[in-house]
Amino acid sequence: MVRIFDGKELSGAIEKEIKRRLAALGNPELHLHTILIGDNEGSEIYIRMKERSLKRIGGKIFVHRFPSSSTVAEIVQHIRKLNSDPEVHGIMMELPLPGGFEVSDFSSEIDPAKDIDCFHPENVGLVLQGNPRFSPPTPSAVMRVIRESGTEPKGAEVCVVNHSPSVGRPLAMLLLNENATVHICHVFTKNLKKHTEEADVIVVAAGVPGLIKAEMVKEGAVVVDVGMNRVNGKVVGDVDFNAVSEKAHFITPVPGGVGPVTRYTLLENLVKAYESGMK
């Protein structure tokens, strides 16, 4: 019998732990500042979700909106002002960025101590060394979900279908730091099924609806779907959910799976950033 993961249940447990930590700190109001360039429906939805989660722990989100006609220099100047403001506890960029902008334009500009999305090269390097200041939110959420399935990373064969700087690469580092065997696949992988069908754990974030079919999954596998696609007005993942559920031991739905956990791992980083600012 497959177990369908409930992201709300795990995120609720993380929320309780965050509230406990904040109570020990005197219940401060945490301030998250996010930068949105241009218009993106997905980013607007994600901002509203973060706002709701922040309200639940007594925090606030501040959205800094820039038209896509803005220059990199204008946005960098604003980031530097946020860096120097002690009332700003965490800073992040809303992704994806519109054409003409690259993550590398801004990743080095956010104060590493406020970089709760873990994009600054210094923070990326600390993850690589196994001594992270902040754990990248989505990869950290995936690690929690894998453990929730009853699978320990140590010794597990894990296939990650994504090699982006925000998901696949840092997730591979977190898994390697815990002695998993990791296979990273991507758009140029010639025979994806060869890699997925041997994996104890499959993590997919390819942005391709229904990419992972039942015949690509071995019996009893753990399948973690990080994909989010809109098809005929509905949000769906990268896994053929109904078919794969017939073979998997554990599977995450979309929506309601990894997404809620990611928002609360981001808030955990915000608490860490606040704590480091007190020192």
Q: How many angstroms separate the CA atoms of 202 and 251, rounded?
A: 10
156 and 233 in a common domain: yes
Report the side by side order of strands in the sheet with 181-185. Answer: 3-4, 250-251, 222-225, 201-204, 157-161, 181-185
Q: How many angstroms separate the CA atoms of 269 and 120, rounded?
A: 14
pLDDT of residue 32: 98
* Cβ count near 22 (within 10 Å): 19
Distances (CA, A) of 266 to 75, 179, 187: 22, 24, 28
Q: How many angstroms separate the CA atoms of 232 and 223, rounded?
A: 24
Residue 31's SS3 state is strand
Tell the burial category of 55 from Cβ atoms under 10 Å away from its Cβ (0-12, 13-18, 19+): exposed
Q: Classify residue 32: in a domain, yes or no.
A: yes
Token pair, residue 173, equals 């580092």
pLDDT of residue 272: 97
pLDDT, mean over the chain = 96
200 and 249 in a common domain: yes
Task: Report how far Cα 112 is from the mean position of its chain's Cα atoms.
Answer: 18
158 and 88 in a common domain: no
| Predicted confidence (pLDDT) per residue in 34-65, tens digit | 999 999 888 998 999 999 999 999 999 999 99
Q: How many angstroms separate the CA atoms of 37 and 96, rounded?
A: 9
pLDDT of residue 117: 97
Q: What is the pTM of this model?
A: 0.95
Tell the burial category of 224 from Cβ atoms under 10 Å away from its Cβ (0-12, 13-18, 19+): buried
Q: Classify residue 124: in a domain, yes or no.
A: no
Average pLDDT over residues 3-16: 97
Q: Classify residue 10: in a domain, yes or no.
A: no
Note whether 223 and 244 are within 8 A (CB): yes
Look at residue 279 and tell me whether its pLDDT is greater than 80: no
Q: Classify residue 229: in a domain, yes or no.
A: yes
pLDDT of residue 79: 98
- How many Cα atoms occupy the beta-carbon half-sphere of 237 within 13 Å? 25
pLDDT of residue 52: 97
Task: Report how far Cα 89 is from the mean position of its chain's Cα atoms.
Answer: 19
Look at residue 277 and tell me whether its pLDDT is greater than 90: no
74 and 31 in a common domain: yes
141 and 65 in a common domain: no
Q: Classify residue 211: in a domain, yes or no.
A: yes
163 and 74 in a common domain: no
Residue finishing a domain among 77, 111, 145: 111
Look at residue 187 and tell me whether its pLDDT is greater than 90: no
| Predicted confidence (pLDDT) per residue in 67-126, tens digit | 999 999 999 999 999 999 999 999 999 999 999 999 999 999 999 999 999 999 999 999
- 152: CATH: 3.40.50.720
66 and 31 in a common domain: yes
Q: Classify residue 22: in a domain, yes or no.
A: no
190 and 94 in a common domain: no
Average pLDDT over residues 178-207: 96
Q: How many domains does the chain have?
A: 2
Q: Classify residue 6: in a domain, yes or no.
A: no
pLDDT of residue 152: 95
pLDDT band at 278 (very low <50, low <70, confident <90, very high): confident
177 and 73 in a common domain: no
Residue 161's SS3 state is strand
Domain coverage including residue 93: 27-111
pLDDT band at 233 (very low <50, low <70, confident <90, very high): confident
Considering the chain, what percentage of its residues have pLDDT values greater than 90? 95
Q: Classify residue 225: in a domain, yes or no.
A: yes
pLDDT of residue 42: 85
- 64: CATH: 3.40.50.10860
Look at residue 128 and tell me whether its pLDDT is greater than 80: yes
